[in-house]
Structure 1
Amino acid sequence: MTQIDWYMQLNLKARHLRLITALYDHGNLKQVAEISHVTVPAVSKALAELEKGLGLELFSRTAQGLRPTAYGECLVRHARTLMTEIHQARDELKSLSSGAEGKVHVGAFPAATSVLLPQAIALLKQRSPRTNVLVTEGIAQTLLPELWQGRVDIVVGRLPVRNATDGFDEKELLDEPVSLMIRNQHPLARKKRLKWSDLQPYPWVLPPTGTILRAPLERTLEQHGVALPNNYVETLSTSLARAYLLVTDAIAVMAGAVAHDAAQPLKILPLTFPHVMRPRGVLWNKNRGLTPGAELMVQCLEEAATAMKLRPATPVSDQDT
């Protein structure tokens, strides 16, 4: 058994993991001492003992503070994963001891929170009322690192391009076409024959620049001789886009399922939009097993998606008046 084997198996403690991540984040003994409520010599001594035990220099001391060595970078990366696992175990134990049956942390892209995810959560709660759900809304750039590090169990929404999903398993749920939508009272809803040029006078709700849908939308408008609107709102929030459409004559580009709301349905314009995005689905880290709660959530997402596929579309047809 090497010195590293011996120390990692017998002497490495959770307090060591907290120490090196704090030193990595702050790079300053004094700041770490303050947040840890100990003295600077105590922090320095703890780091020296850890480095001596491993026989490795984890941080180099410079005039600007502590800088992680390659050994420090490696250990901090794994320390974060271990601390996440410890916190998840703590949360599960607390949930079980309080009578809950588990907890699932779901990361959701904005469009998934409007229809698919609420219905899946309702199914989960019907089957396991004491399995609790924490939903964090975000975009791929923020949620995929959280999924990789184990801070969320699954991510639901439009599946990212494949090279962004390396290290993850995925399940396709809905392959919805992207559509142009308006409110039922919109002037375009009364047109018997609709042309792309008819869209020109109206305001828009656009996906922000740099998002998956923005460039294909701009290309499509250009191909049909429609100038990019100069009267628009940019958002990824489906709920905001829906609400804005219902009180204005704006046009929005969104997935078809957003139109299906019994209380306040939207109209889908009969203009062909190219298939530019991957299906909606669910992602999880292939290196981690799904918890029972996460497995149940995936099952409920599949059932909710199946139910959504069976709903009829409500496009504006040539017969609409």
Structure 2
Amino acid sequence: MAEFDWYLQVNLKARHLRLLVAIDTYRNLTQVAEVTHVTVPAVSKSLTELERGLGLALFSRTPQGLMPTPYGDCLIRHARSMLTVLHDARDQLKALSSGAEGKIRIGMLPASASVLLPQALSLLKQRSPSTNVTIIEGTTEALLPELWQGRLDLVVGRLPAPGTLGSFEERELLEEPVVLMTGLHHPLARKKSLAWSDLCDYAWILPPPGSLLRDPLERVLEANDVPLSSDYIETLSIHVVRAQLRVSDSIAIMAVSIASDPVQPLHVLPLSLPRLVRPVGVLWNRDRGLTPSAEQMVRCLEEAARQQSARLGDMAHA
């Protein structure tokens, strides 16, 4: 074990980490050689040297290609994490040397953060124009692994159930209700009062299965004897929802702020929904902590949430 420890601490280099990730990605030495611009014998030699130095078999040859052994799986996971840390250091050093103040990578849950996040970004850019931001839209299932692995600094949107957080730290930002909505032309938009049974004849635009809103919505509809018809579209895209509501008689469920957009207003159906989901908030990896730029972004999110909360209060009393 002394040789094993020595190799990891002294001989393991960034090129070994990149080699492991490349082999895991392509599972074929010829493809690895092509993308790394070296020869196949050179790739094979590097892998052999790494396995000999560790005294462990990292890959096994199968008809499906090179498959990681349990040792390989373990080292590949850490290799990806270490490369992410190195890339972060590179980006931060580049930013400092160019006069920029940093870079933030944010995952956004589009159906719940599409109003809050742009307001927070506007505040950030007013205060720190040289802080650069990358935004990636996705579902909770797609974004949380990226946050855990360090490829994202923050995730903004509806907070998941507390029992699923693990090593994530959360901060609640905004208690924003969700509502049922239609286009302004919809037959139900002309009615001053509604019963749940009035919804039965219309198509739906639904959040996809597994998303935070889908199961709670189905439970509410079932409790009010509203069967989901076979006529529906599933999407988390606000752009698709808006467009479809404008050209069809569908019904959708989204945050109330989306319906109040002065440029593209929608109609909120006067049916009371219970609290279906947790507040909008921000998540980060507790074990990695926050960079100064990410801390500043969290402060901007908090301020934008206070401003939006005040607007929602004004809407409620209007």
TM over 0.5: yes
- For 1:111, give the aligned amino acid: A
User: Distance in 1 between the 2:230 and 2:56 partners?
Assistant: 59
Greater shift, 222-231 or 95-104, is seen at 222-231
**Cα shift at 1:177:** 2.0
Greater shift, 14-23 or 236-245, is seen at 236-245
**What corresponds to 1:123 in structure 2?**
123
Query: What is the root-mean-square deviation in Å for CA atoms of aligned residues?
Result: 2.4
**What corresponds to 1:285 in structure 2?**
285
For the residue of structure 1 that corresponds to 2:123, the secondary structure is helix
**What corresponds to 1:300 in structure 2?**
300
Decide whether the 8 Å contact of 1:60 with 1:67 is kept in 2.
yes
User: Distance in 2 between the 1:16 and 1:78 partners?
Assistant: 12
User: Distance in 1 between the 2:244 and 2:157 partners?
Assistant: 22
Decide whether the 8 Å contact of 1:114 with 1:239 is kept in 2.
no
Greater shift, 213-222 or 171-180, is seen at 213-222
Q: What does 1:1-321 correspond to in 2, within 5 Å?
A: 2-62=2-62, 65-311=65-311, 312=313, 314=315
User: Distance in 2 between the 1:13 and 1:42 partners?
Assistant: 16
User: Distance in 1 between the 2:157 and 2:132 partners?
Assistant: 20
**Cα shift at 1:113:** 4.4
**Cα shift at 1:114:** 2.2
**Cα shift at 1:29:** 2.5
For the residue of structure 1 that corresponds to 2:201, the secondary structure is coil
For the residue of structure 2 that corresponds to 1:218, the secondary structure is helix
Mark the CA change 1:129 to 1:64 in structure 2 (over 3 Å): closer, same or farther: closer
Mark the CA change 1:66 to 1:271 in structure 2 (over 3 Å): closer, same or farther: same
User: Distance in 2 between the 1:86 and 1:64 partners?
Assistant: 31
Of all paired residues, the percent bearing the same amino acid is 61
Gap regions ≥5 residues in structure 2: none
Greater shift, 143-152 or 30-39, is seen at 30-39
- For 1:19, give the aligned amino acid: L
For the residue of structure 2 that corresponds to 1:273, the secondary structure is coil
- For 2:52, give the aligned amino acid: K
User: Distance in 1 between the 2:246 and 2:34 partners?
Assistant: 52
Gap regions ≥5 residues in structure 1: none
Mark the CA change 1:10 to 1:272 in structure 2 (over 3 Å): closer, same or farther: same
User: Distance in 2 between the 1:31 and 1:208 partners?
Assistant: 36
Greater shift, 53-62 or 70-79, is seen at 53-62
Decide whether the 8 Å contact of 1:268 with 1:314 is kept in 2.
no
- Cα distance per residue 1:236-295 (max 9 Å; x no partner): 112321233234433211122222323333332221212221211111111102111111
Mark the CA change 1:313 to 1:91 in structure 2 (over 3 Å): closer, same or farther: same
Mark the CA change 1:28 to 1:186 in structure 2 (over 3 Å): closer, same or farther: closer
Decide whether the 8 Å contact of 1:267 with 1:314 is kept in 2.
no
Decide whether the 8 Å contact of 2:112 with 2:255 is kept in 1.
no
User: Distance in 2 between the 1:86 and 1:126 partners?
Assistant: 29
User: Distance in 2 between the 1:300 and 1:203 partners?
Assistant: 38
- For 1:229, give the aligned amino acid: S
**Cα shift at 1:172:** 1.1
User: Distance in 2 between the 1:240 and 1:284 partners?
Assistant: 29
Decide whether the 8 Å contact of 2:193 with 2:270 is kept in 1.
no
For the residue of structure 2 that corresponds to 1:310, the secondary structure is helix
**Cα shift at 1:193:** 2.4
- Cα distance per residue 1:53-106 (max 9 Å; x no partner): 223332234565433222222111100001111112222222333332111010
Mark the CA change 1:309 to 1:40 in structure 2 (over 3 Å): closer, same or farther: same
Q: How many residues are paired up?
A: 317
| TM-score of the pair, normalised by structure 1 | 0.90
Mark the CA change 1:65 to 1:192 in structure 2 (over 3 Å): closer, same or farther: closer
Greater shift, 282-291 or 240-249, is seen at 240-249
User: Distance in 2 between the 1:34 and 1:190 partners?
Assistant: 63
Greater shift, 11-20 or 156-165, is seen at 156-165
